């Protein structure tokens, strides 16, 4: 497991920025490919999911190795991952973008919720998705998928680097999800990215207010007008941001 | 049409099990491919759709054979299928996974509803989907699609074996849908599969309760601990299941 | 920009017909491919979006031409398009069916709303999609997409013919959207298509009522029975349509 | 089986025209969708394949119905189709555009060759494709595929209307293949289409000669110049076409 | 690395059977998914590739971790895999079915050839593919791809279980390729599968001869006629097989 | 048209480097996306295609605007592009990655050849592809496609920025093709990229020779060993490169 520990104050910042803003902050640093593609919330939750990645890797299932009795083994990697994912972390599953069989179901996700895990993400699909959507835990997938994971997925190992939705995920990276989707922030960048994203969010909130009041975006977004920069400073003071 | 008739008591069981549980029961019997892929409810209905399959087969449309006046023919297979699908059955359409033109629209689906049909499934798309979603009938498709079916689909015949979402559907097979999707249960297996799925559902409900109360899944799911099996028996007694 | 101006009375008709009905009216005229494929409302709005197309063309982004500072240029085509799209028009973006990066975000869409633009359509994805869904403007896309448009899209020019979701869109064409999706009506056909669609809608409303009352579709839809035609005339008189 | 019989003189014409020219002749008649998409020769043969369609329909395989012993049944539709396809016809298989398992292998294709069948077409894949490519029979598929057809395909019936590569194929339609691919000519149009295509081919051969000699295409192709039409008549006389 | 060592006599058998026949032998044992999908020879070689799998795993590339200087590290997993793949083995690369950037190029494949490696397989693409096709080593990929692997692939580790073309590949499994494609034989089954496939090949060669001589496939393939079985025994004796 | 003119000496260099090497040189400059995806030679030609881009843009076809008589107009953009593409240039067509109808056919490509055009590239398909493959001009496409371009493509304009195979192509950019595929070199970089690629090619030729003689790639490729660098200098002197 990564030695990196996400500080509470950074996490607090990440609770109040969008995945879109984080993508832009990463783009500035040359990272163009950190948004997990074609994955969405099982149900929108309003608030953000923030936590470090705990990963689980699936490979295609070979029939003889994936009969139902494999789950009798307490060390089966899917079950072990669910019991070992640290509280506050996000379980991220590499399902090879294949939603034709499930990555997990409601009982396992309930267990994660009870263990204090922040969320679960797969680039495949969940079964029991209506139940999962009703749970008090963030869950992201491609689409609902009723067949047991054994149909197509062999759970191989956890806590290793993976791909998820065309994004590299290294254990310990910081995962942020909102109602739009999920972004992966490399842990060595998270402090500066969180700080910058919070600043950007203040500016975008100011801009949104200005636009709602009828202003043009030219000169305002980005702030190429001196007047915009002055108005923003006044807005910050007034709003304590 | 298949001579098989789904008994009411089996149907009643199927009203209370999920497509996910049915997939697992079928997986145990070597059937790994019975969940209709990439099809979803037009609107979630909460309860289950259960009925035998009445099928409709489309092939690609040739322009000269698919002008609007074909619908003046009362024997046009799409219209005839709508009038001939037995009450309680599910109309399943093979649209070759092509949602670029509609499989059917609100008027036909309303007629099915009035005739007591249990639901309609296509691996293409419906037009008038907002209206269909508001009707009191289960409807599953890939995505909304406004163009008339004549644009791409020739309705050829009904009550024949088809493919739907990569699943074989034989007339008379039992179709079960929930808010997750649709599974096809071969009719010769439905009695034992329904019984087993109901048992599995009781156990999963017990497990879910245990997990919500803080139990680990190890030893519990599956029930490798003797203690789990004992507790489950007690739970059954207590809950009358 | 197209010299064609959509008359208010035609627009009024288009507010009360569905994209499905319009597709059929266009199909009768040999236009089979006017429904924008695989695009959906960010959030359903109930009513129709109607307006002439103002287009924006993207090509794939080359990294050196698409750094963040390009937005400092007030003539950047994306920003200029937002400020130049005429009130009442619909901004239609050719994103080459690539939703892996955003076509636009909430601030720009808010500006469009404030400027009185009728809606925005892309065959890619929007960022800030939860915010966009809450705005009082129609917005259609393929799926949410947080990465900045610079990641994959170069905004090149506006007010030119484009493709969107496999449909040709010529500036000035009439764009109609409902909760099902978006159809493109060539401007030279809009008067007759709107009139015919309104007539068809009256008939379909009558048919829907008949079907809900238990009638068969045979002879009714289409109206091959003389009795249907008589009943329809009576219905029109009674309902003033 | 269709009562239509392709006359030898029409067949002779079709041996000397390209699928491209046939597509244009069909396009003129409003048929835009007769070229089988994404299918190619297993190996290029130089000459044309011409024959009436004899069809075979596959649906997705259910595991219990598709064990190896099904081939012991002499009436198994795949085997029966191979023995019943009339000499001179083309066996066209609806494999639902799924090449992940084979549509047929070298032994069956050899048998077709021995029986005098003109060719075989699938929108899936062949196994033993290197052997098939070496046989003296036209064969078209999407890509090589070693797994037995039982893996994914249930041979259901033959001599029925099917879809192949997004094209409707009616039994008796005329199938023409060249090194580019395969086009389906509805039988009621084949006489006029063959005649027109032969004329077009003469003109295109003339044009090709002119272009190779350095002429511009403007005024030549199409022949909007009077001079072109005169030169073409002279060319026809000279070349006896 | 797997302790299993492929015996020379088994390898010799596998040199004379096709991937199609091996797929059928595996299908009989319930393994339906061992043919690597959508992968083809860079150039056909005629003979078979046979060797145990030595695997290499790629994940999506993060830009900061995949600059050109990473190759200066002698332990870079791509380079190390090339130097560590045992002679006679096949290097199998998990490229997540993404051919948009290369999996390897001609210099590395030449090095593998010089080291006595039996072949290389990726579910992505090779760069320098014309040069690779001319080398005396088997190479299989999806399609040519010029961009350096760093563009999209991070070489992570070797000698671990992977997926390749939707097939699970465990280190030590036996990889067999012919001009059709590549099949993965689990090592614990290879002895019996090789033996059975060799028997099947003898029978298929006999059948092919019979079919070429004009026999029907009914009763012959499979050998449901007693006469077929007798004739086959005579053929075996005569041909020493 | 771009004012940039490709100097003969730069062109000469580009005749002797591979698209793979050019991709790496561009990657070093932060351009990761210049290889046209999923496009291949109609037939391999051995040598390189080098020329500046002359572009042609297609949008989806509307049926009423794309009847056969449009070709009677000498200014039809497809025909005009063929007559206006400067000798030595490469005609690059934006077909929106849609090969279901042709981008062009043999007569037009013959005319380009006669006019001294260096090659033609589309991200769609060519009709008459066997004839095109036999011509003495480079041609790249996705796959053969017999239907006339009018079926799906409206030729709109030429000499404008386009996308082709997910790559931006600006008029005047330098297009290089080999038997692997096609790369787009922005014109402002071509001088330095050509020079560097030629240097890289010398080194890679040296490395290839070393590897063929049995050397390990470690320390050799890249040249982290001092000894490699010395040997390379000797090789250059000896081979005059």
pLDDT in tens, F177-214: 999 999 999 999 999 999 999 999 999 999 999 999 99
Confidence of residue F56 (pLDDT cuts 50, 70, 90): very high
What is the Cα–Cα distance from D112 to D82, expressed in whole angstroms? 6
Closest CA to F166 of F35, F30, F40, F23: F35
User: Which chains, if any, share at least 3 CB pairs under 8 A with chain B?
Assistant: A, C, D
CA quadruple D153, D154, D156, D160: dihedral, nearest 10? -10
pLDDT for the residue numbered E88: 98
Structure confidence at residue E2 (pLDDT): 79
Per-residue pLDDT of chain A (241 residues; tens, 9 = 90+): 678 999 999 999 999 999 999 999 999 999 999 999 999 999 999 999 999 999 999 999 999 999 999 999 999 999 999 999 999 999 999 999 999 999 999 999 999 999 999 999 999 999 999 999 999 999 999 999 999 999 999 999 999 999 999 999 999 999 999 999 999 999 999 999 999 999 999 999 999 999 999 999 999 999 999 999 999 999 999 999 9
Tokens coding E26 = 């595996």
d(CA E22, CA E176): 9
> Which residues have a Cβ under 8 Å from the Cβ of B241 and sit 6 or more positions away?
B202, B205, B235
Using an 8 Å CB-CB cutoff, list chain C residues near A219: 74
From CA C171, how far away is CA E150, in angstroms rounded? 42
Given this model, what pLDDT does residue C207 score? 98
H/E element holding A12? helix A8-14
- To the nearest whole Å, the CA of D236 is away from the closest chain B CA by 34
> Which chain D residues are closer than 8 Å to E179 by Cβ?
129-130
Residue E221 to residue E228: CA distance in whole angstroms: 9
pLDDT in tens, E206-240: 999 999 999 999 999 999 999 999 999 999 999 99
**Mean pLDDT to the nearest integer, E152-175:** 98
How far apart, in whole angstroms, are the C-alpha atoms of residue B166 and residue A134?
29
* Contact across the interface for F23 and E144, Cβ inside 8 Å: no
For residue B44, give the 3-state DSSP assignment.
coil
The mean pLDDT value for C176-192 works out to 98
Tell me whether B221 touches chain A (CB under 8 Å). yes
Q: Give me the residues of B, 35-94, that contact A with CB < 8 A.
A: 35, 37-38, 40, 44
User: Which chain B positions have a beta carbon within 8 Å of A107's beta carbon?
Assistant: 204, 207-208, 211, 217, 221
**In 3D, which of A74, A81, A217 has the Cα closest to residue A155?**
A81
Is F123 near chain E, with CB under 8 Å?
A: no
Comparing CB atoms, the residue among A31, A63, A65 nearest residue E32 is: A63
C-alpha dihedral sign at A143, A146, A151, A155: positive
Q: What integer pLDDT is reported at residue D2 of this predicted model?
A: 79
Using CA coordinates, name the residue in chain A closest to B219.
Answer: A74
Instruction: Kindly tell me the burial class for residue E8, based on how many C-beta atoms sit within 10 Å of its own C-beta (0-12, 13-18, 19 or more).
Output: exposed
List C-alpha distances in Å: E133 to B58, E116, E137, F177.
44, 17, 8, 18
Per-position pLDDT tens, chain B of length 241: 678 999 999 999 999 999 999 999 999 999 999 999 999 999 999 999 999 999 999 999 999 999 999 999 999 999 999 999 999 999 999 999 999 999 999 999 999 999 999 999 999 999 999 999 999 999 999 999 999 999 999 999 999 999 999 999 999 999 999 999 999 999 999 999 999 999 999 999 999 999 999 999 999 999 999 999 999 999 999 999 9
Structure tokens at A29: 């640093």
pLDDT of residue E182: 98
The nearest alpha carbon in chain F to C156 belongs to F161
Reply yes or no: is the peptide bond before residue F119 cis, omega within 30 of 0. no
F164 three-state secondary structure: strand
User: Which residues 6+ apart lie within 8 Å of C218 measured at CB?
Assistant: B74, B79, B83
Virtual torsion, Cα D197, D198, D203, D204, nearest 10 deg: 70
Let me know if chains E and A touch, i.e. at least 3 Cβ pairs under 8 angstroms.
yes
Mean pLDDT for F28-39 is 98
**Phi and psi for A43 in degrees, rounded to 5?**
-145, 145
* pLDDT of C171: 98
pLDDT at C1 over 70: no
State the nearest Cα–Cα gap between C148 and chain B, in angstroms: 27
Listed in order, strand segments (DSSP E) in B38-81 are 40-41, 49-60
> Which tens digit of pLDDT belongs to each residue from D72-82?
999 999 999 99
Chain F: residue nearest D165 by CA?
F100
Cis bond upstream, residue B93 (ω within 30): no
Instruction: Tell me what pLDDT residue B1 has.
Output: 63
C106 CB near a chain A CB, below 8 Å? yes
Residue D214 CA, distance from chain mean position: 34
Q: D168 and B33 in contact by Cβ < 8 A?
A: no
DSSP state letters, C148-212? -GGGTEEEEEESS-EEETTEEE-TT-EEEE-SS-EEEE-GGGHHHHHHHHHHHHHHHHHHHHHHH
What pLDDT was estimated at residue A1? 63
pLDDT at D1 over 70: no
The pLDDT of residue A2 is 79
What pLDDT score was predicted for residue F2? 79
- Provide the 10 A C-beta neighbour count for residue B74: 14
Residues 178-217 (F) with a CB less than 8 A from some CB of C? 186
- Give the mean pLDDT of chain B: 97
pLDDT of residue A183: 98
A224 touches chain C (CB under 8 A): yes
Mean pLDDT across D149-174: 98
What does the pLDDT read at residue F1? 64
Q: Does B123 touch chain A (CB under 8 A)?
A: no
Instruction: For chain C, give the mean pLDDT.
Output: 97
**How many Å apart are CA C186 and CA C199, to the nearest integer?**
19
pLDDT in tens, F136-149: 999 999 999 999 99
Q: Give the nearest chain C residue to F160 (CA atoms).
A: C156
């Amino acid at each position: 497991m990564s030695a990196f520990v996400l500080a509470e104050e950074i996490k607090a910042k990440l609770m109040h920025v969008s995945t879109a803003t984080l993508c832009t902050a990463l783009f500035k640093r040359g990272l163009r490919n950190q948004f997990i593609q074609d994955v969405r919330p099982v149900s929108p939750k309003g608030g953000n999911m923030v936590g470090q990645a705990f990963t689980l890797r699936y490979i295609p299932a070979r029939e003889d190795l994936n009969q139902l009795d494999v789950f009798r083994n307490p060390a089966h990697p899917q079950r072990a991952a669910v019991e070992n994912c640290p509280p506050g972390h996000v379980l991220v599953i590499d399902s090879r973008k294949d939603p034709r069989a499930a990555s997990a179901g409601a009982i396992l996700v309930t267990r994660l919720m009870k263990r204090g895990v922040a969320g679960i993400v797969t680039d495949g699909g969940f079964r029991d998705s209506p139940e999962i959507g009703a749970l008090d835990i963030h869950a992201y997938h491609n689409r609902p998928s009723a067949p047991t994971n054994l149909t197509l997925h062999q759970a191989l190992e956890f806590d290793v680097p993976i791909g998820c939705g065309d994004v590299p995920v290294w254990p310990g990276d910081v995962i942020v999800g909102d109602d739009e989707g999920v972004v992966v922030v490399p842990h060595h960048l998270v402090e500066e990215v969180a700080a910058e994203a919070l600043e950007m969010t203040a500016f975008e909130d100011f801009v949104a207010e200005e636009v709602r009041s009828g202003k043009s975006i030219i000169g305002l977004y980005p702030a190429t007008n001196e007047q915009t920069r002055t108005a923003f400073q006044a807005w910050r003071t007034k709003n304590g941001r």
